Amino acid sequence: MTGEEIGKVVEILLEYLVPTLKVFGYTLLFSVPLGMVVALLRMCRIKPVSWLTSLYILIMRGTPLMLQVIVVYYAVPYLKNSQAVPGLLRNFLSQIDIRADSFMLSAILVAFTLNYAAYFAEIFRGGIESIPKGQYEAAFSLSMTKTQTFFRIILPQVIKRVVPASANEVITLIKDTSLANVVSYAEITLKARQQMQLYSSLMPLFIAGLFYFAMSLVLTVIFSFIEKKLDYYK
Amino acid sequence: MAVLEVRNLSKSFGSLEVLKDISFKVEKGQVIAVIGPSGSGKSTLLRCINQLEKADGGSVCVCGMDMLQKNKSGKTVYADNKILREIRLKIGLVFQNFNLFPHMTVLKNVTEAPIRVLKMPKDKAESLALELLGKMGLEDKANSYPYELSGGQQQRVSIARALALNPEVLFFDEPTSALDPELTGQVLKVIKELADNNMTMVIVTHEMAFARDVANYVVFMDGGVIIEEGSPEQVFGNTSNERTKQFLSRYNQG
Ligand SMILES: Nc1ncnc2c1ncn2[C@@H]1O[C@H](COP(=O)(O)OP(=O)(O)OP(=O)(O)O)[C@@H](O)[C@H]1O
Ligand SMILES: [Mg+2]
């Protein structure tokens, strides 16, 4: 490939960095709070709730994310034609155009969020369970409410403990966004493949790889900064 | 009115009866030392009174509020949550291993409860905290984090933290037993000063000399029952109870 061609490929990939970052950003935005909720449900004292949550986590972590994306995406056309689905829901589903970018993104985000929430939940649960009982007892004997205890005493300590493991997940997520190309969502990996065919060259793939590498690097730097920030106590 | 009145308190862990029919009273200004061999139920007693453990039977009354009592049908029931919280505010607890909040400065550790629980304005809470830290000899540590302090300093912070809610009575569960011997002195000195200022306290301790010096009432527990109670002179100097004698002789030898 000529330098000019490489420049063109870089330009296209830069443009499709936006959808990649959309999948990344929205997934984080939704899966972190959902993961917290799932962690709390998993630790719920009402047994059926905790069992159901465990089952959800087991399934999400035990099956491939790519498969989950495909299931969520193709569920819509299948449910649309299924007699078992209530008419109202079928009407709603039949209005959806599965080739629309916005639908693709939604389907991907549903699968990614459900999947990543399960991973984050296990990290958060580990963090919450690692806080010594004495912290709860001290807060309790100071007459703090349960909510105050959680948000003022427990959560800040949990955050510090879960940052290293969460950093791993976040860096994995930036690379996992490439799975979105299985439903033909136009992002970096999909575009790089098209360019590869166009130029009959592996170069576009290497450039895409470089993009992911750079983003992982940035995330690593950000997280080591956060870890340092949280290092003010032991 | 007694600050605390415990009657026929009982508590079991499974089949293990840890407290059997415990009754005692704490009057305003009293400093009570609770002594006894390991496993005799001292911590469990404190934890039941502080609602960290659920008692099985008996009654507990704090500053005229019933925390635990028999209802009409003879069942032992706890008061509703609002009263239980009210009662917790009257009682302070100092833990053996401090349980300071590691992510907060010393000052924040002390101001957190007054600000969140009593809704005290921040500046007022801070000046209160600095005053308490001053009494503990820690005014220069206000901006340190717990990990930067020695065990003795951490324990004094936890005492200041408990005092910041202005409790009617302060409980200590072996406040010095997690400390190196050379650090216990500072903590005991602070407790002694509180006693001199008529703070009502119940102190579980293995420091017999300290108990004798500071307490004006001593309770000796063994096997989940109160074996003997009375003035320090009586319990330490003049006991006729064989088990008390036996227990104390081990300390006098060492
Ligand atoms: N959570 C618990 N579950 C089961 N048994 C317990 C529990 N807490 C305490 N015990 C048992 O209750 C008994 C009394 O324990 P407790 O901690 O009250 O004794 P203690 O007088 O404070 O002893 P020490 O001087 O060693 O602190 C012990 O036999 C102990 O093993
Ligand atoms: Mg104990």
Q: Are the beta carbons of B164 and B106 closer than 8 angstroms?
A: no
Global model pTM greater than 0.80: yes
pLDDT at residue number B219? 96
- Using the Cα atoms of residue A19, residue A25, residue A29 and residue A35 in order, give the sign of their dihedral: positive
Confidence class for position A100, pLDDT limits 50, 70, 90 = confident
Residue B118 sits at the vertex; the CA angle it makes with B114 and B119, to the nearest 5 degrees, is: 90
Q: Which residue of B has its CA nearest to A135?
A: B99
**For atom 3 of ligand 1, which residue has the closest CA?**
B13
Query: At A32, which amino acid appears?
Result: V
Q: What is the pLDDT of residues A188-224, one digit of tens each?
A: 999 999 999 999 999 999 999 999 999 999 999 999 9
Mean per-residue pLDDT over chain A, rounded:
94
Confidence class for position A55, pLDDT limits 50, 70, 90 = very high
Mean pLDDT within A31-36: 96
Share of chain A above pLDDT 70, in %: 100
Which of B38, B173, B220 is the pocket-test mutation for ligand 1 (most atoms within 8 Å of CB)?
B38
Q: Which ligand is nearest to the CA of B34?
A: 1
| Short-list B110, B167, B102, CA closest to B135 | B110
Expressed in angstroms and rounded, the spacing between residue B44 Cα and the centre of ligand 1 is 6
User: Which residue out of B43, B116, B155, B159 would a mutagenesis test of the A interface target, given it has the greatest number of A Cβ atoms within 10 Å?
Assistant: B116
Among A11-25, B23-37, B64-78, the minimum mean pLDDT is found in B64-78
Residue A40 pLDDT > 60, yes or no?
A: yes
CA distance B147 to chain A (A): 6
Predicted-complex ipTM score:
0.94
Q: What is the pLDDT of residues B30-72, one digit of tens each?
A: 999 999 999 999 999 999 999 999 999 999 999 999 999 988 8
Q: Which ligand is nearest to the CA of B13?
A: 1
**For atom 31 of ligand 1, which residue has the closest CA?**
B39
Q: What is the pLDDT of residues B95-148, one digit of tens each?
A: 999 999 999 999 999 999 999 999 999 999 999 999 999 999 999 999 999 999
The two structure tokens encoding residue A21: 């970052």
pLDDT at residue number B253? 65
**CATH code given to domain A30-153:** 1.10.3720.10
Expressed in angstroms and rounded, the spacing between residue A200 Cα and the centre of ligand 1 is 75
Q: Sheet containing B217-222: give its strands across.
A: B91-94, B169-173, B201-204, B31-35, B217-222, B225-230
Chain B residues with CB-CB distance to A156 below 8 A? 103
Q: Which residues contact A22 (CB under 8 A, 6 or more apart)?
A: A105
Which one has a higher pLDDT value, A62 or B75? Answer: A62
Which of B10, B40, B44, B47 is the pocket-test mutation for ligand 1 (most atoms within 8 Å of CB)?
B44
Residues of A with CB under 8 A from a CB of B: 132, 134-135, 137-138, 140-144, 148, 152-153, 156-157, 160, 232-234
Q: What is the pLDDT of residues B159-208, one digit of tens each?
A: 999 999 999 999 999 999 989 988 899 999 999 999 999 999 999 999 99
Q: Which ligand is nearest to the CA of B40?
A: 1
Confidence class for position A234, pLDDT limits 50, 70, 90 = confident
